Structure 1
Amino acid sequence: MTDNAPTQGIPSPDLKIIETRVYRGPNVWSYEPAIHLVVDLGSLENFPSNAIPGFSEQLLELLPRLDQHHCSRGRRGGFIERLHEGTWLGHIAEHVALQLQQEAGHDMRRGKTRQVKGIPGRYNITYSYADEFVGLSAGELAVRFVNHLVQPDPEFDFTTELEKYIKQAERAAFGPSTQAIVDEAVSRDIPWIRLNKASLVQLGQGVHAKRIRATMTSETGSIAVDIASDKDLTTRLLASAGLPVPRSESVRTVEEAVTVAGKIGYPVVCKPLDGNHGRGVCLNLQDADAVRKAFPVAAEQSRRGWVIVENFVTGKDYRCLIINGRMEAIAERVPAHVVGDGVHTVAELVEITNADPRRGVGHEKILTRITINNAARELLRGQGFELDDVPPEDTMVKLTLTGNMSTGGISIDRTFEAHPENVEIAEEAARMIGLDIAGIDFICPDITQPVRETGGAICEVNAAPGFRMHTNPTVGEPQYIAKPVVDMLFPPGATSRIPIVAVTGTNGKTTTSRMISHVFKGMGRKVGMTSTDGIVIDERLVIRADASGPKSARMVLQNPRVDFAVFEVARGGILREGLGYERNDVAVVLNIQPDHLGLRGVDTLEQLADVKAVLVEAVPRTGYAVLNADDPLVRKMRRKCSGQVVWFSMAEPGSEVRDYIEGHCRRGGRAVVLERSELGDMIVVKHGRRSMQLAWTHLLPATFGGRAMMNVQNAMAAAAAAFAAGAPLHDIRQGLRTFNTSYYLSPGRLNEIDVDGRTVIVDYCHNAPAMRMLGDFVDRLGESLHASSELGRPSRIGVVATAGDRRDDDIRELGEVAAKHFDVVVVREDARLRGRKRGESAALVEAGVRAAMENSARCRQVDIVLDELTAIRHALARSNRGDLVVLCVDQHRTVLAELESVSHLAQAGARSGDEGGDPDFVQPDEEADPAE
């Protein structure tokens, strides 16, 4: 970015967002999740910050903490220096977005701004985020704010907008309890996924995953929660265990409540049978009239209409937190109150107390604001005060009777003061109810003395108890109670992650992913795999769609059956959302070929390699990158790998690449190479100075007797990945020997089908590099068919197509390559035209074929049949028995169904004496009849 550009005219608020992306994992811009905004400065491209009068001063006045930003200077105040020297407003919007997140409590510091190449005034802004909604809102508000500073908007008040933004951020944030557990998990390198907009969170991956919702876990029993929700049943169970509980009965009417209160003896308590957070609890009721007033208050908060009447136990209110059967924290809960100073009224004291920045609405802060309601006014009158009265100095004025934090109470840590007998009683209560995390409410004069001697009782057992009174006590030391929760879910030494193998490259991704999955399925693993065909969980196709993106990866990681993941990762998903997960244990990069260029800002092979290299950058120190040593661009990725590199190569011994690999292995590295001999080609695994023979290529079914060299390479990559992931050699060998290109194991990838004497190959080939490899296979396969044919030279017919969003030159090149290997080329188009007009892509392919035909290519005939099924029927009609028909398909399921139908019809025709085939077809080596 160049500072101090010339200015022209008057600046206008032209900054606007052109495009927004959310990266949910490692991406081309950052190792961490990030927001990506493409912004256009418009006329502001001519106005750096020092060219707009008063801009920097207003910015720092409204966001003074920007002076803490280092920027590129690497020191505090570096951004201020850039601001005064003159920097572009896109760069300023980046820093404002980061600071807005800090204002909302998210400590985000990473960001960068880069100009979009070739487009003046347009910039890429990326910055980190903790919450997706908060991060996006920060970017939008930052742009509005910068425009406002350029030219004031009378309808925009930054202070109001900032408050609104912070409140939205607080509503989107986790509560204190959930955040404490997530923070502890992160500190232990346990991955987590937020499953909804509230507090449902998955910790761990796949088969190791556990779930939490606030302080309820996947280990919390439903029956235990139901028991804790029924206060009457809870009391009876605790009493049956000899634990101190108040006398109580449940009632449904006011008169029943009065009768029970008289039987128990005043004072009494009325509370809802299944309430929570202290709502509807009425304490210290001295007579029948008080019970009659309290009953409707309690009944309103009872979901089932039952109200408990119990004797009033005097003393202080203590919350004992029991986790996994052990007492972990105790807090004394003091009801919401104010303390008189002899100057301010009760109402003013409440305002002063609520001004504490630690207080917020509900559970959004560590303390809750005090609310003045009718119950509070009555309680005030009972103490001899009104809201306008000035209490004497040091006089405590209660505003609620219960000590719940959610009603404005405060907490005092008493964890290390409790008497051992009281701790034992609390732990026994949690065991009786069956809760893994329980909040035991004690009422007693002093927790340091035995309850059975001083008097007191357990008045309630809570499922999903709040943690904030323990993690953020108003008085005393905080207790790190998230640790025992995570210890319970993931005991020391327990695994939280499943192995992830990610595969990328221009061609061969799907087949390599399937090979790796097949190897580990043979070892008994429950494999979750994503590919362009869909999501496969333990050999079952659960979603049929292009699933090579980050959303599909997250779906696999959420599946509780999966203990091994194999992800096919496409370029589009990386550019759109990043990887969608944090890291992969093994990254496989097959090749970098000229495909998908000209899309989403990727115009060169080097840029495409940078996108694919995101997988390599996501390899941890303990992981491996499996790289194709024969591809120079893939070879360069070794510098981006934090772990170890495993090479695979088909290069001949003595070549520069093989010499490099030999040196790599002598230093203890790993590689998979091809050793050629008179007996055939052998795949060899090298580790240090050891060489281990894996398999003859001609014995691997997927290689068609060693003819399909692309599958030889894919098998080598799969072997290297499986070896890096810990698979024994005999399991890798068995996996590759049993993997074939049948439609069951590899749908749409080099499937061979006999259709009435014709050899039909179904493949996904859709670009020129893939067509070269397919053409090499066709040449090798064609030679064997020619040798065994009784009809002379068999013909080769190819049905080809490509996606419409490729460059014109790439589409034409596909036709040129196809023309070198087929006698007849039938050009079709996909159903999705991807921005082109119908027939446009096919015309480009045809042009490439005809250009090659003029240069003496093999092809003698080219036809355009746009519809896929019609093109396939046309190709089959043009063929004869013994011919080779290669179908490069888009919808392979539909195509295979059509081929099965043709096969059945052919069999029926053979039984009736119909020979089939096209008698008018002219063989390439025959002279055509002029009449034809």
Structure 2
Amino acid sequence: MPIDRPVPTGPAAPDLQIVSTRVYRGPNVWSYDKAVHLVVDLGVLEGYPSDTLPGFTDALLQLLPGLDGHTCSRGHRGGFIERLREGTWLGHVAEHVALQLQQQAGHDLRRGKTRADRSVPGRYNVIYGYLDERVALAAGRLAVRLVNHLVRAEPGFDFALEFDAFLASSARMAFGPSTAAIIEEATSRDIPWTRLNQASLVQLGQGVHAQRIRATMTSRTSALAVDIAGDKSLTTTLLGSAGLPVPKAESVRSAEAAAEAATSIGFPVVVKPLDGNHGRGVCLDLRSEADVLAAFPIAQGQSKRGVVQVESHITGKDYRCLIIGGRMAAIAERVPAHVIGDGEHTVGELVEITNADPRRGVGHEKVLTRIAVDDAARELVKSQGYEWDSIPPAEQMVKLALTGNMSTGGISVDRTFDAHPDNIEIAEEAAQLIGLDVAGIDFICPDITAPVRETGGAICEVNAAPGFRMHTHPTVGEPQFIGKPVVDLLFPPGAPSRVPIVAVTGTNGKTTTSRMLAHIMKGLGHKVGMTSTDGIVIDERLVIRADASGPRSARMVLSNPRVDFAVFEVARGGILREGLGYDRNDIAVVTNIAADHLGMRGIDTLEQLATVKSVVVEAVPRDGFAVLNADDPHVRAMRRKCSGTIVWFSMEPPGSEIREFVEERCRRGARAVVLEPSDRGEMIVLRQGRRRMPLAWTHLLPSTFGGTARMNVANALAAAGAAFAAGAPLHDIRQGLRTYTTSYYLSPGRLNRLEVNSAEVFVDYCHNPPGMERLGEFVEGYVEQRQKSLDHRISRIGMIGAAGDRRDEDIEALGHIAAEHFDVMVVREDANLRRRAPGEAAALVVRGAQRAMDAGARCRQIATVVDEIAAVRHSVHLANPGDLVMLCVDQHAAVLAELEDFTHEAAAGSRTDGDQPGDPDLDPQQLVDEAQTSYAQEAAARREAIEPPLPTL
């Protein structure tokens, strides 16, 4: 129905503008595929839908008539035009214009959506698909300018000129016909590809299965074979020695030597550069020494080494035989650039008419190349008895080039099924002799349908990296789908092109679950590539230290030729910034959804956070798996977004409501990983339908510290479920869990235990309230377990810090929860304050802890030591033998190094016999003052050594 609103006279000045731009390079919160996201502000145009702008729709259709084919939400052709006439907002119009501009650039895309930003009136999220992000961004910018221009004309804006410039730049960025043919075939087989540079270097496949192409050169193309093919003299010698028909030839470096060689060979001859290409510098049918002397500098000018080849001239037609993997794939007859007279137009006019063909472009940008008008072309025309302004008779061919290369304006005629078997055999043998996997064999012969040995033809050249466009887009005849044999060569039928990808997300436990899973799969012999907040690990070797939980890190792992199994920790920031960075994951693991990072990037509620995290579940294919935490209602709800099979894991005991939920699904054949208590302890059990497969006792897993680290029990369930979904045998899963420890070497910064001065010190990365709750539960259980074997009370000392980019209430909650579990708290700050004033975050932690203490919490002392290294030393000084010190750190490497130094100092007796660490009679504030003073200079030096905030990949 038309929108019922008064029709205004129009805005005084349109101000539709792009507020921000984001490129998603994989599945994201808006789309299952890669997309461009423009946030646009309509400004005054918010009050002017399309039906209120007289003539807007007609003017838009006049410029872009292809919009008539857009179905929009109506689902039928012309649906978008209906929306325009009924009234739609101009952000939606910009989306469709951007898509249409890309379509006219040759990118067939139809995916797009526009959604209002409810928090800011007049602001819209415009999302549309792309093939090349640079083209898509340019289309978006031009679309916004065009919409503004149609509302009220922009002075100096000429859409026709802007559109031509857009098409020209799009053509420059596009793949050539050869590369495009291979990529199209790979895409049809679901082989992933990645463009590695701005030109034609492309990776097909992932990890250990990856292959690379550059135009028609492949990972299997021999460099030696390319060098041989580039040396025309050597090529002719090798082929001739094998008995293949080749012309007589000599290599020379001077014009005089060329004339002598021509006389020796016998006229007519051909003079060409020894190592040229695309027919440049080739001079044909030279019948005298004078012709050879004149041709020599032309050929030498195109020779990289200054060497020129003189060879006998073979009379006949020019044929290109394409050999792929030793087998003939296509044959094309190449006809030199020419025009056909019509008795009305001059030669020059005929050239202009021919070049006006939309299939012709500059260089290799289109399937045909424009005919070059140069001195050589004019001389050739004159040699045929015509001038440039002569009118040739009807049906008379006038040659404009001697060679049939497509790059000089020639055309091609498909002859794939016309060639004589003997000629095919000769071409295939020539490619094998040179050693090329993809070769272009140039035949000159009277007729390819007759044996060249009988008709007097010969192989005049062997080309490495031959162009495909004469075969994929012949001027006459049927196109040949030669991308198929190239892809067959790189990926034989049945050969894998992808490595298994496991994406692990959630609020807490992502890193540990990823490490556990990587450890299990390493035990199976896999070369695991893993990303996490600590860096990129390839086969248990840290290759890049950075916050590597983003999409760029994932792409780096998938490009590594050693990786045959990938485990990615996926953080919300990377999903919001770029999407996943790959097209799909075989297994998605979601550990939990809890309050962290709320209030950032428009994520204010747990429901919104769950929507972001669920992207990894949506990226699971039908034959994939999602490992979901049944105990978390937000994670449990993600089952509706999964196309694959669900694997549940639950910490709940039998008989509970959640456990019944899981059991009911298992009775229907589902998979699950659960806990079953007994008088001997808790057993991790794998369930598949009615089958029950015991896996391991939780208290025997080193990472759980006798079952007290409940968060690691949950992580073990998730890792076991993912490994089971990946096809790992039970005994390998069991062995992996039993051998995975929280040592610094296997799990840096995650519950690393050390003994310092007879006190138990744990180093952990805990930094949010939900994580502190789990850590507090561990402290309670671990101390209770240890207390049984001791005759004195264990004091609990906790060093706490909060990231400055969290909400005030979250930072206070962190302090409040910590105060419930520790006797003494030492509050520190991160090296990166994240735009907070020094001491501000620490004060918020103290405020939350003080509120808990006022309500009767366990904590009795709070000290603020903002420098992390000084805070570490102060915390350890407070501990008596047997006490527990929990260090929640920011820079775990620097903290571990400090603890080692501290231990060495203590062992050397460097401390005085005065007030001893942990002396209960020592004034706490005195300790704080001493720590701040004694370690000030050392902490400053340490701060220099602490690594700066990690970059996000």
How high is the TM-score relative to the length of structure 1? 0.98
Contact 2:915 2:922 in 1 (8 A): no
Q: Distance in 2 between matches of 1:18 and 1:627?
A: 37
Q: Distance in 2 between matches of 1:922 and 1:656?
A: 51
Residue type matched to 1:879 in 2?
A
Q: Distance in 2 between matches of 1:788 and 1:307?
A: 91
Residue type matched to 1:828 in 2?
R
Partner of 2:57: 56
Residue type matched to 1:666 in 2?
R
Contact 1:528 1:537 in 2 (8 A): yes
Q: Secondary structure at the match of 2:909?
A: helix
Q: Is 1:552 equivalent to 2:553 in the alignment?
A: yes
Q: Secondary structure at the match of 1:446?
A: coil
Partner of 2:884: 884
Q: Distance in 1 between matches of 2:15 and 2:574?
A: 31
Deviations 1:732-786 (A, max 9, x none): 0000000000000000000001111111110010100000000000111122343
Match runs of 1:518-597 below 5 Å: 518-597=519-598
Residue type matched to 2:305 in 1?
R
Superposed displacement of residue 789, structure 1:
3.6
Residue type matched to 1:101 in 2?
Q
Deviations 1:512-565 (A, max 9, x none): 000000001111110000000000001110000000000000000000000000
Deviations 1:26-78 (A, max 9, x none): 00000100000111111111111122222222111111111111111111111
Contact 1:649 1:673 in 2 (8 A): yes
Match runs of 1:63-82 below 5 Å: 63-82=64-83
Partner of 1:312: 313
Q: Distance in 2 between matches of 1:755 and 1:145?
A: 69
Partner of 1:673: 674
Q: Secondary structure at the match of 2:529?
A: strand
Q: Distance in 1 between matches of 2:44 and 2:637?
A: 41
Q: Closer, same or farther in 2 for the Cα pair 1:752/1:800, shift >3 Å?
A: same
Superposed displacement of residue 910, structure 1:
7.9
Percent of residue pairs identical = 70
Q: Distance in 1 between matches of 2:23 and 2:484?
A: 31
Contact 2:529 2:536 in 1 (8 A): yes
Q: Is 1:872 equivalent to 2:868 in the alignment?
A: no
Superposed displacement of residue 343, structure 1:
0.6
Q: Distance in 2 between matches of 1:4 and 1:303?
A: 72
Partner of 1:930: none
Q: Closer, same or farther in 2 for the Cα pair 1:913/1:712, shift >3 Å?
A: same
Partner of 1:800: 800
Q: Secondary structure at the match of 2:631?
A: coil
Q: Secondary structure at the match of 1:197?
A: coil
Residue type matched to 1:360 in 2?
G
Partner of 1:927: none
Contact 2:2 2:87 in 1 (8 A): no
Q: Distance in 1 between matches of 2:435 and 2:835?
A: 61
Q: Secondary structure at the match of 2:32?
A: coil
Deviations 1:870-897 (A, max 9, x none): 2212212222222211111111101100
Q: Distance in 1 between matches of 2:133 and 2:687?
A: 45
Superposed displacement of residue 836, structure 1:
2.1
Q: Distance in 1 between matches of 2:622 and 2:923?
A: 59
Q: Distance in 2 between matches of 1:82 and 1:834?
A: 46
Superposed displacement of residue 614, structure 1:
0.5
Match runs of 1:845-860 below 5 Å: 845-860=845-860
Contact 1:11 1:47 in 2 (8 A): no
Partner of 2:396: 395
Superposed displacement of residue 915, structure 1:
8.7
Superposed displacement of residue 191, structure 1:
0.8
Superposed displacement of residue 4, structure 1:
5.4
Q: Distance in 2 between matches of 1:405 and 1:11?
A: 53
Partner of 2:825: 825
Contact 2:905 2:911 in 1 (8 A): no
Deviations 1:361-380 (A, max 9, x none): 11110101111011101101
Q: Distance in 1 between matches of 2:734 and 2:915?
A: 43
Contact 1:823 1:858 in 2 (8 A): yes
Superposed displacement of residue 861, structure 1:
1.6
Superposed displacement of residue 918, structure 1:
4.2
Partner of 1:371: 372
Q: Secondary structure at the match of 1:788?
A: coil
Q: Distance in 1 between matches of 2:412 and 2:520?
A: 57
Deviations 1:691-730 (A, max 9, x none): 0110000000000010000000000100000000000000
What is the count of residue pairs matched by the alignment?
Answer: 923
Deviations 1:100-131 (A, max 9, x none): 10110101111011111221011111000000
Residue type matched to 1:471 in 2?
T
Contact 1:906 1:916 in 2 (8 A): no
Q: Distance in 1 between matches of 2:736 and 2:2?
A: 56
Greater mean alpha carbon deviation, residues 582-591 or residues 781-790: 781-790
Residue type matched to 1:68 in 2?
G
Partner of 1:213: 214
Q: Distance in 1 between matches of 2:814 and 2:755?
A: 26
Q: Closer, same or farther in 2 for the Cα pair 1:861/1:7, shift >3 Å?
A: farther
Contact 2:406 2:412 in 1 (8 A): yes
Q: Distance in 2 between matches of 1:364 and 1:402?
A: 20
Residue type matched to 1:465 in 2?
P
Residue type matched to 2:448 in 1?
I
Superposed displacement of residue 169, structure 1:
0.6
Match runs of 1:146-157 below 5 Å: 146-157=147-158
Partner of 2:117: 116
Deviations 1:481-500 (A, max 9, x none): 11111111111111111111
Q: Distance in 2 between matches of 1:347 and 1:389?
A: 8
Residue type matched to 1:854 in 2?
D
Partner of 2:296: 295
Q: Distance in 1 between matches of 2:535 and 2:921?
A: 39
Q: Distance in 2 between matches of 1:797 and 1:319?
A: 80
Structure 2: segments with no counterpart, 5+ residues: 925-953
Q: Secondary structure at the match of 1:886?
A: strand
Deviations 1:457-508 (A, max 9, x none): 0000000000010011000011111111111111111111111111000000
Q: Distance in 2 between matches of 1:112 and 1:695?
A: 49
Q: Secondary structure at the match of 2:685?
A: strand
Contact 1:4 1:48 in 2 (8 A): no
Q: Secondary structure at the match of 1:36?
A: strand
Greater mean alpha carbon deviation, residues 803-812 or residues 193-202: 803-812
Q: Distance in 1 between matches of 2:834 and 2:46?
A: 33
Q: Is 1:41 equivalent to 2:42 in the alignment?
A: yes
Q: Distance in 1 between matches of 2:665 and 2:11?
A: 62
Q: Is 1:271 equivalent to 2:250 in the alignment?
A: no
Q: Is 1:733 equivalent to 2:734 in the alignment?
A: yes
Q: Is 1:250 equivalent to 2:213 in the alignment?
A: no
Residue type matched to 2:851 in 1?
A
Residue type matched to 1:520 in 2?
M
Q: Is 1:834 equivalent to 2:834 in the alignment?
A: yes
Partner of 1:481: 482
Q: Distance in 2 between matches of 1:2 and 1:626?
A: 47
Q: Closer, same or farther in 2 for the Cα pair 1:821/1:219, shift >3 Å?
A: same
Greater mean alpha carbon deviation, residues 903-912 or residues 451-460: 903-912
Deviations 1:392-442 (A, max 9, x none): 111100000000001100000000010000000000000100000000000
Q: Secondary structure at the match of 1:536?
A: strand
Q: Distance in 1 between matches of 2:679 and 2:865?
A: 45
Residue type matched to 1:185 in 2?
A
Task: Give the aligned CA root-mean-square deviation in angstroms.
Answer: 1.5
Q: Distance in 2 between matches of 1:541 and 1:135?
A: 36
Q: Distance in 1 between matches of 2:640 and 2:567?
A: 24
Q: Distance in 2 between matches of 1:19 and 1:829?
A: 32
Q: Distance in 2 between matches of 1:913 and 1:787?
A: 31
Q: Is 1:616 equivalent to 2:612 in the alignment?
A: no
Partner of 2:506: 505
Partner of 2:168: 167
Q: Distance in 1 between matches of 2:73 and 2:834?
A: 41
Superposed displacement of residue 866, structure 1:
1.7
Q: Secondary structure at the match of 2:687?
A: strand
Q: Secondary structure at the match of 1:745?
A: coil
Partner of 1:129: 130
Superposed displacement of residue 286, structure 1:
1.0
Partner of 1:645: 646
Superposed displacement of residue 599, structure 1:
1.1
Contact 1:499 1:584 in 2 (8 A): yes
